[in-house]
Amino acid sequence: MSSTMEFVQYIADQLRDMGMISYRKMFGEYGLYCDGKFVAIICEDQLFLKVTKAGIDFYPELEENPHHEGAPASYHLVEDVDDKEWLEQLVRITWEELPYPKPKARIKEGVE
């Protein structure tokens, strides 16, 4: 079962006050970005937030949980997505600890 667009948009709406929230289809599910940083995966209508020390310190009850069998356990399953303020706070402290993606190298045209 893949995620529904309604769930993806609900999560994006819950986080809209944090900044530029975007999502992109990835391997049949969705990657979630906040101000250009990859912060979470939405898989089977569940939110899996990247694991950071700050996230664990904020909410130690979160357990590392792979978003699908065989995936690395570097994500937290976030079950309470309805508490907007709490969810924003958790994602914000996680976001602060994550690096911005490295710029992609430009492909140089061949030299003759």
Over residues 71-94, the pLDDT tens digits come to: 566 888 898 999 999 999 999 999
Q: Judge whether 12 lies within some domain.
A: yes
Give residue 4's pLDDT: 92
Q: In what order do the strands lie in the sheet with 46-50?
A: 21-26, 29-34, 37-43, 46-50, 75-78
Question: Which helix (DSSP H) or strand (DSSP E) does residue 37 occupy?
Answer: strand 37-43
Over residues 3-33, the pLDDT tens digits come to: 999 999 999 999 999 999 999 998 889 999 9
Tokens coding 95? 């976001």
Give residue 24's pLDDT: 95
For range 95-104, the mean pLDDT: 88
| Residue 9 φ/ψ, nearest 5 degrees | -65, -35
Distance CA 96, CA 77 (A): 19
Count CA atoms within 13 Å of residue 109 on its CB side. 1
- Which range of residues forms the domain containing residue 15? 5-97
What CATH number should be reported for the domain holding residue 11? Answer: 3.30.1460.30
pTM of the model: 0.82
Examine the pLDDT at 35 and tell me if it is beyond 70: yes
Q: Judge whether 56 lies within some domain.
A: yes
